[in-house]
Structures are given as C-alpha cells and as structure tokens.
Amino acid sequence: MFPVLLPTYNRTDIAFVRGEGSWLFAEDGKRYLDFGAGIAVNAFGHANPKLVAALTEQAGKLWHTSNLYRVPGQQSLAEKLVANSFADTVFFTNSGAEAAELAFKMARRYQYVSGHPERYQIISFEGAFHGRTLATIAATGNEKYLEGFGPKVQGFDQVPLEDLPALNRMIGPQTAALIIEPLQGEGGVRPVAPEFLRALRKICDDKGLLLIFDEIQTGIGRTGKLFAYEWLGIVPDIMCIAKAIGGGFPLGALLATAEAAKGMTVGTHGTTFGGNPLAMAVGNAALDLALAPGFLEHVGKVAGYLNQQLGALVAAHPAIFESVRGQGLMLGLKMKIPNTDFITAARQAGLVVLPAGDNVVRLLPPLTISESEVREGMELMNRAAATLESQKAAAQ
Ligand SMILES: *Cc1c(COP(=O)(O)O)cnc(C)c1O
C-alpha cells in the first residue's frame, strides 16, 4: 500500500511530543538535547513562555482576516524590522521559499519599471539552497532537486562560489539580480569570503543589478548579529528571512529598500495566509526577544565557547572530524566518516544534530542555550565520537 504520507522524507523513527528550552522529549520518555532547533527555527527554545503567551493570547481573539484589511501586527513587526535593518519595506510570507520567490519577482519587476524589461536573469552560486518551489530549485541549482521536474524555470543560472571571473562572464544585458546566502547552510555551513560578498555589492552597483541576500537561515541572531550582512559593512537591496523569525510558527518575510521595491504596486503580489494575526503575534514577540538587551551578546559569548570546545573535540578525535567552520551558533563539523554515522551515534547518546552538504554535521542550537547545556552537548559528542572510534577499532 502507498504510504498515507507522501514518502519524500527519510525520517528518523522518533516522535517528539514535548519541548522545553533546549530539550526535546520523545514519546518513549527519552530526553534529547537539541542542537538542531528544527533546522534553525526554534531560536528561542521550545515552549518559550513569551512566545506561548503571545500565541495563546492572540488565539483567543482573532486568527485570520485576509490581507483585504489592515493587520496591526504586520505594521508593528514591519516597523521593528525596518528600524533594525537596511530595509524600508517588508512583505510577510509563510515560508522561506515564498520570500525567495517574491525576491525574484521583485527583482524582475524592478528592472521592468526601470526601463530594462530585458533583464530577467537571476544568478546564484554553487552550493546554494533557496527552497523547493519550481523557481527556488532553479536558483538552488542542485541536480538532485531538479531531476525529473523539468523544464527548469527559465532565467536562473549558477556560477561557482567566490569565482568573480566566472560571475563576470555570466553577467550580461539580461541579468537582473544576484542571490546569495552570506553563509551557506544546507550546502554545508560554508562560509563565504567577506571580500567576495563586498565585491558582489560593487558589481551590482556598477551594473544596475539588485543584490539579494538569502538570510533565511542566518537571520535573526544566528550569527551573533541580528542579520549576517551586518558583519560585512555592506547592505543588500533585498533580503529574505524565515525560520527563526517565527520561533517555530510558520513565518517568513521579504525586506527591501524603497528603490528595489518601487515596482511592487497594488495588485502585483499577494498571499492568503502571509502575515496573519497569529503569525504576527508570535513574530512580534520573537523579534522583541532577539532585540532585548544582552540577547545577541549571549549568542556571541556562548558561540565563542562552543566554537572553542569544538576545536578541542576535533583535536581529540582526528579519525572522526576534519575541521570546524561557520559563525555564531551556525557551526559545522566537516567529517572524515559519513556524517550520518555521527548523527546516529549522537542521537543514541541523547543529542540531536543535523546533516548538511559536503559531509558536514550541522550544529544549530537554540540561541537561548546556556553554557552548561553546551558543556553537556560536548560531553555527548565526545561520547558519540568515542563509540565510533571503538567500533572502527573493532572492525579492523
Ligand atoms: C530553509 C531555507 C530556505 C527554504 O525555506 P522554506 O521555509 O523551507 O521554504 C531557503 N533558503 C535558505 C538559506 C534556507 O535555509
């Protein structure tokens, strides 16, 4: 019989039934320390009391009105995002891919109203991940995600990361925009050289292109700043966020300058659910947590500690790990053994960690994680590594 759930996931046979801060509890009562945070989503921990209160309070008042009416929570959340970023304007979506889709539409529309209807091409970079819709798989460019779903959406091309000559060869009279993650997530927690990102800004300025940052994973404090672009001394024209901004409630957003957004007039875009009162209640509360004094300092401090501990872990288990990379609480362990072997061993030890491309184990704990929880996590990772080493020794 065909599975009642479309079998597109290779799921681990665990059902979590409850969460509290950095901890998850499974059906069988087993407790896990969560270094995955639902893929960078539960940035404020599980069952955060402030987010629970915001959601339940709104749930008793009003769930949905459609975007035919003013939604006060959209106004306040947009004002806060604008006050704390490069952006002048915000559109709320339900997911990251929807924000990326809008970024593509906005970039083409910008060129169209600027007298360049011929500029439609969006250039992305190898190792990228921008989502699973038809346009975002075209931008992602990963053959695994494209196979059998052709024809590929037109107007998306990819060049190698940090290859300026290849980029300059690809840019032509048809180019509208570049899209990049300032730190690649799914691709393997691959950092991008700041000089390269700054060079993209200059190319876009010189050639009248828009620079789109996909901060769906890096956004809302993950790297130790509210947005990763803040480390660079440059700003994008358009930025996509999602994941952490809802703290676990489906919410994404597109942020843009007034100039980039100038073509998006009444009727050019819309959504039924995007920015609904429930999402806005949680989003406002989540952003308030991220903006609270000391929050980002905490992320920086605990991230520094985790990074240093991971360095020691790699040194202690040279047959298992190759190196540590990433920024803030978005860290990756490049593995010498299959990343899935380590993920399984860590889970058996009671720690949830995530896979990423390039044989990397990805660590994305809640941003609220404490130093003592990091210590517990390191203990569990050391134990998992030791188990794998003894298995390896026994097999020889
Ligand atoms: C998760 C992610 C997306 C896709 O977001 P969805 O909400 O799954 O559509 C896009 N870009 C990046 C960088 C992501 O990490």
Provide the pLDDT for residue 101: 98
The sign of the torsion formed by the CA atoms of 165, 166, 169, 170 equals negative
What is the number of the ligand 1 atom nearest to the C-alpha of 242?
7
Judge whether 8 lies within some domain. no
State pLDDT tens for residues 275-309.
999 999 999 999 999 999 999 999 999 999 999 99
* Residues 315, 384 within the same domain: yes
CATH number at residue 27: 3.90.1150.10
User: Tokens 């709104």 belong to which residue?
Assistant: 58
CATH number at residue 108: 3.40.640.10
State pLDDT tens for residues 382-395.
999 999 999 988 98
Averaged pLDDT for residues 340-363: 98
Q: What does the mean pLDDT of the chain come to?
A: 98
Domain encompassing residue 146:
49-291
* Residues 213, 355 within the same domain: no
The pair of structure tokens assigned to 328 is: 């803030």
* Residues 327, 351 within the same domain: yes
For residue 252, report the distance from its CA to the centre of ligand 1, in Å: 9
**Percentage of the chain exceeding pLDDT 70:** 100
* Residues 157, 65 within the same domain: yes
Boundary residue ending a domain (291, 308, 338): 291
∠ CA 187-190-191 to the nearest 5 degrees?
145
Judge whether 39 lies within some domain. no
For residue 276, report the distance from its CA to the centre of ligand 1, in Å: 20
What is the number of the ligand 1 atom nearest to the C-alpha of 97?
9
For residue 241, report the distance from its CA to the centre of ligand 1, in Å: 8
What is the number of the ligand 1 atom nearest to the C-alpha of 136?
10
User: In whole angstroms, what is the distance from residue 32 CA to residue 366 CA?
Assistant: 13
What is the number of the ligand 1 atom nearest to the C-alpha of 217?
15
Judge whether 41 lies within some domain. no
Averaged pLDDT for residues 350-364: 98
* Residues 152, 277 within the same domain: yes
- Residues in the ligand 1 pocket, defined by CB under 6 Å: 95-97, 100, 129-131, 181, 185-186, 214, 216-217, 242-243
* Residues 69, 160 within the same domain: yes
Judge whether 40 lies within some domain. no
DSSP state, residue 46: B
User: In whole angstroms, what is the distance from residue 360 CA to residue 349 CA?
Assistant: 19
pLDDT grade, residue 396 (50/70/90)? Answer: confident
Contact 341, 388 (CB under 8 A): yes
Provide the pLDDT for residue 68: 97
Judge whether 3 lies within some domain. no
Close Cβ partners of 118 (under 8 Å, ≥ 6 residues apart): 111, 173, 174
Boundary residue ending a domain (291, 311, 336): 291
* Residues 243, 355 within the same domain: no
Judge whether 366 lies within some domain. yes
Q: Could you tell me the pTM of the whole model?
A: 0.98
State pLDDT tens for residues 29-87.
999 999 999 999 999 999 999 999 999 999 999 999 999 999 999 999 999 999 999 99
Close Cβ partners of 20 (under 8 Å, ≥ 6 residues apart): 45, 46, 47
User: In whole angstroms, what is the distance from residue 29 CA to residue 47 CA?
Assistant: 17
* Residues 87, 132 within the same domain: yes
* Residues 115, 167 within the same domain: yes
* Residues 138, 257 within the same domain: yes
Query: If you write DSSP's letter for every residue of 205-266 in order, what string do you get?
Result: HHHTPEEEEE-TTTTTTTTSSSSGGGGTT---SEEEE-GGGGBTB--EEEEE-TTTTTT--T
Averaged pLDDT for residues 373-390: 98
* Residues 378, 272 within the same domain: no
* Residues 244, 319 within the same domain: no
Close Cβ partners of 29 (under 8 Å, ≥ 6 residues apart): none
Domain count for the chain, please give it.
Answer: 2
State pLDDT tens for residues 192-227.
999 999 999 999 999 999 999 999 999 999 999 999
Residues in the chain: 396
Query: If you write DSSP's letter for every residue of 60-80 in order, what string do you get?
Result: TT-----TTS--HHHHHHHHH
Judge whether 95 lies within some domain. yes
Provide the pLDDT for residue 392: 86
State pLDDT tens for residues 106-145.
999 999 999 999 999 999 999 999 999 999 999 999 999 9
Boundary residue ending a domain (258, 291, 324): 291
State pLDDT tens for residues 223-243.
999 999 999 999 999 999 999
Provide the pLDDT for residue 244: 98
For residue 205, report the distance from its CA to the centre of ligand 1, in Å: 26
Judge whether 131 lies within some domain. yes
What is the crossing angle of helices 371-395 and 295-316, to 10°?
20
Type of residue at 208: G
